Structure 1
Amino acid sequence: MRICHILGSNIPHHNQTVMAFFREQLWERIPPQARAAFYIVGGSSENDPPEVKRFAGKKALADFLLKEVKQRSDTFYLLHGQFNVALWLAILCNKLPLDRIGWHIWGADLYEDSNKLQFKLFYPLRRMAQKKLCHVFATVGDLQRFNQINPNAEQTVLYFPTKMDPSLKPPLASAVSDRPLTILLGNSGDQSNRHLEALQGIKAQLGDQVQILIPMGYPEHNQGYINTVKKQAAELFAASAVTVFEQRIDFQDYLSMLVQCDVGYFIFSRQQGIGTICLLTQFNIPLVLNRENPFCLDMQQQQIPFVELAEVSQESLNRAKVRLAQLDKSRIDFFAPNFVQGWLELLQKLAQK
């Protein structure tokens, strides 16, 4: 069976990460039919291999796919993330072959967090489409959540190929440090990070003598919410205590920022930010997580310590940091290069159908 990989929405960072992963780590290790085609919305076609076909928009990709599936019965379509309304509607209306469709859940595409009317109207339709799926791949926590919607689908644990450098070492702790506790708040400017609530929680739990770093370069067209966060920060903390990054941050600059942190404060209730969670864990930087976040199941399964939101204190953070330093990170399933094996096994299996 040929495998056609569908990246059906223009999400540059994630799409580039997936393509780099295939080109650099999988290309020579999987059969050619397992990388037969890649259909991608947006991005530059420069340096693309011949297997890649790019589309100007979501609908253009969906229209092409709907025509192709009528002509090909030898192809399995693997949806990497799924933020394409036209494809959900095609699944709902049985216009795509359900036995030859697989969905790799990226987190946000499973949850129903938005308060915008168009999303609230669409969520029930998407849920009905998800009930029709036969093959789903995701984190342990997301599979448990999906199982509440569709317990009949074949479910496989598979981790997003997070960009990591296993050779990076935790920064050496200074014997004496008079700098304030430095907190990374959230992993993006998306409102799912609950920045306003988090700022209040940080002040209540850890005081105002802290340094807070807030990356908000993604998503685009978000200035209204950024201004709201900055206003809340100014009301709670001194101007010098909070830094909001309004532009996208280069990966190396992001790494440099992370190693300055003492804690990652992530109170989102859905699975997101696995890349940042992995990097902070690699650097022995403790995490504050919301118990409602399904990824806590994956953390617990891998015996990775974290601090629950209700239990945040300087003492609990210090204990978590000690345990992180003692943790054998070479065995963590969702760390690089360990997650590669899951991809190899899945693609071999699908290609043999």
Structure 2
Amino acid sequence: MMIHVLGSDIPHHNTTVLRFFNDVLAAQLPGRPVFWVVSAESPGEYPNLDLIRYRDRRQLATAARRSARRDRTITFFLHGQFSPRIWLALLTGAIRPHQAHWHIWGADLYEVAAGPRAALFYRLRRIAQGRVGRVLGTAGDLGHYRRRHPRTRSTVLYFPSRTQGPDAKLARLRPGSSLTVLIGNSGDASNRHVTALRAVRERFGAQTRVVLPCGYPAGNETYLRAIRAEAHRLFPPGNVRLLTDLLDYRQYADLLAECDLGYLIFRRQQGIGTLSMLIRAQVPFVLSQDNPFLRDLTGQHVPVLVHEDRITPAEVERSRRQLAALDWAQLSFTPENCVPGWLRALTEGASDAGR
């Protein structure tokens, strides 16, 4: 038996995974997918899934530990970020390697916190990450993971964002017009908003229009105040749109279609859904050279502008033309095209259950 675990209460990510399984995969799998979900409120109705909701991470981890010990044929498919108590269960052997498949979403693989407590936790977590039976993720994330754990079985698999790209097409930049630049895909500090704002001002001038979608995470008002202050220091107030409401898919797609460039300089893999939407709308984008997802993009011949390189409006337009010539159907990480990879991964995972 395979149990899918959404072990952190992250509604926008969890809802995406649940919808993907309910609407796309369930009909193509031999049995009804089983999900255990941490959620303070009801995660919604998913008639094609068997879903159990847990009020917090501790409760879910306790259930996983007990079930794993009681039945060693149970396999847990761990989606993205999950409870430290599950890491501890792997460390202690309560959950054995053949029972754990981990799909990396990025954040749990990278170590960004500082201080002695974080250092100790990261040290333990590195050991636990080597005790999963199989790890799944982007080619870049898997390359990062293999530096420490080269022997773990690995499978390339992409996060399932929405299954359709935006319908709207970009109104192309006219000669003499200013660029409209999307900066980041959330209000999380991993977007490096201040660095991006300064780079955009230096490269494209003060008349550039900047759009910053910062609808999540909650509770980061201090950081948002710093972003707003820096944006207004660098650009006229009328050229700055800092959006603090969470946008639905259609609103977000329309927002991207208004942009001439995406500036997404996280140092780890994130935002595959946003990148797919930008590619579909033929909007060029800038990534950091430290982003391991560059390996996936360049491996599939997607044009990318690199933050650390020289970038001019002419380079942006050249990248747009290259995107226009790209064959969307050949990209394995896009929402529509990742389905075969998921079916293969789940079929292989099901074969481990019962070992």
TM class, shorter-length: over 0.9
Residue in 2 that maps onto 1:53? 52
Residue in 1 that maps onto 2:192? 194
Please say if residues 165 and 277 of structure 2, whose CA atoms lie closer than 8 Å, have aligned partners that are also in contact.
Answer: no
Residue among 254, 257, 277 paired with 2:255: 257
For the pair 1:132 / 2:108, whether they are aligned, the reply is no
For the pair 1:226 / 2:220, whether they are aligned, the reply is no
Greater mean alpha carbon deviation, residues 44-53 or residues 127-136: 44-53
Residue among 281, 296, 320 paired with 2:294: 296
- CA-atom RMSD in angstroms: 1.7
| Aligned mates of 1:281, 1:118 — CA distance in 2 | 40
Residue in 1 that maps onto 2:266? 268
| Aligned mates of 1:191, 1:334 — CA distance in 2 | 25
After TM superposition, the structure 1 = structure 2 runs for residues 115-264 of structure 1, keeping only pairs within 5 Å, are 115=114, 118-166=117-165, 168=167, 170-171=169-170, 173=172, 176=174, 179-264=177-262
Query: Residue 53 and residue 224 in structure 1: after superposition, are their counterparts in 2 closer, same or farther (change >3 A)?
Result: same
Residue 171 of structure 1: how far off its partner (Å): 3.4
Query: Residue 92 and residue 54 in structure 1: after superposition, are their counterparts in 2 closer, same or farther (change >3 A)?
Result: same
| Aligned mates of 1:344, 1:126 — CA distance in 2 | 29
Residue in 1 that maps onto 2:35? 38
| Aligned mates of 1:164, 1:64 — CA distance in 2 | 32
Query: Residue 244 and residue 256 in structure 1: after superposition, are their counterparts in 2 closer, same or farther (change >3 A)?
Result: same
Residue type of the partner of 2:93? N
Residue in 2 that maps onto 1:312? 311
Residue in 2 that maps onto 1:70? 69
| Aligned mates of 1:236, 1:70 — CA distance in 2 | 58
Q: What secondary structure, in the 3-state scheme, does the structure 1 residue paired with 2:226 have?
A: helix
Query: Residue 93 and residue 100 in structure 1: after superposition, are their counterparts in 2 closer, same or farther (change >3 A)?
Result: same
Please say if residues 35 and 51 of structure 2, whose CA atoms lie closer than 8 Å, have aligned partners that are also in contact.
Answer: yes
For the pair 1:280 / 2:283, whether they are aligned, the reply is no
Q: What secondary structure, in the 3-state scheme, does the structure 2 residue paired with 1:155 have?
A: strand
Residue 172 of structure 1: how far off its partner (Å): 5.0
Residue 82 of structure 1: how far off its partner (Å): 2.6
Please say if residues 300 and 331 of structure 2, whose CA atoms lie closer than 8 Å, have aligned partners that are also in contact.
Answer: yes
Post-superposition Cα deviations, 1:125-182, rounded to whole Å, max 9, x if no partner, equal 21121122220000000000000121010010001111141573633547x5765210
Query: Residue 342 and residue 164 in structure 1: after superposition, are their counterparts in 2 closer, same or farther (change >3 A)?
Result: same
| Aligned mates of 1:324, 1:163 — CA distance in 2 | 20
Residue 251 of structure 1: how far off its partner (Å): 1.3
| Aligned mates of 2:84, 2:226 — CA distance in 1 | 29
Post-superposition Cα deviations, 1:102-133, rounded to whole Å, max 9, x if no partner, equal 00000111111234765444222211211222
Please say if residues 31 and 351 of structure 1, whose CA atoms lie closer than 8 Å, have aligned partners that are also in contact.
Answer: no
Structure 1 unaligned runs (5+)?
Answer: none
| Aligned mates of 2:43, 2:180 — CA distance in 1 | 40
Q: What secondary structure, in the 3-state scheme, does the structure 2 residue paired with 1:109 have?
A: helix
Query: Residue 46 and residue 318 in structure 1: after superposition, are their counterparts in 2 closer, same or farther (change >3 A)?
Result: closer
After TM superposition, the structure 1 = structure 2 runs for residues 83-122 of structure 1, keeping only pairs within 5 Å, are 83-115=82-114, 118-122=117-121
What TM-score, normalized to structure 2?
A: 0.94
Residue 261 of structure 1: how far off its partner (Å): 0.3
Matched positions, count: 349
Residue in 2 that maps onto 1:330? 329
Residue type of the partner of 2:35? F
What TM-score, normalized to structure 1?
A: 0.94
Residue type of the partner of 1:148? R
Post-superposition Cα deviations, 1:68-93, rounded to whole Å, max 9, x if no partner, equal 11211222110001331111121122
Please say if residues 181 and 211 of structure 1, whose CA atoms lie closer than 8 Å, have aligned partners that are also in contact.
Answer: yes
Please say if residues 288 and 308 of structure 1, whose CA atoms lie closer than 8 Å, have aligned partners that are also in contact.
Answer: yes
Please say if residues 160 and 338 of structure 2, whose CA atoms lie closer than 8 Å, have aligned partners that are also in contact.
Answer: yes
Residue 46 of structure 1: how far off its partner (Å): 4.5
Residue type of the partner of 2:218? E
| Aligned mates of 1:200, 1:311 — CA distance in 2 | 14
Please say if residues 217 and 249 of structure 1, whose CA atoms lie closer than 8 Å, have aligned partners that are also in contact.
Answer: yes
Residue 336 of structure 1: how far off its partner (Å): 2.7
Residue 297 of structure 1: how far off its partner (Å): 0.4
| Aligned mates of 2:269, 2:333 — CA distance in 1 | 14
Q: What secondary structure, in the 3-state scheme, does the structure 2 residue paired with 1:90 have?
A: helix
Runs of 4+ in 1 over 4 A off after TM superposition: 176-179
Post-superposition Cα deviations, 1:240-280, rounded to whole Å, max 9, x if no partner, equal 12111112111111111100000000111100111101100
Q: What secondary structure, in the 3-state scheme, does the structure 2 residue paired with 1:122 have?
A: helix
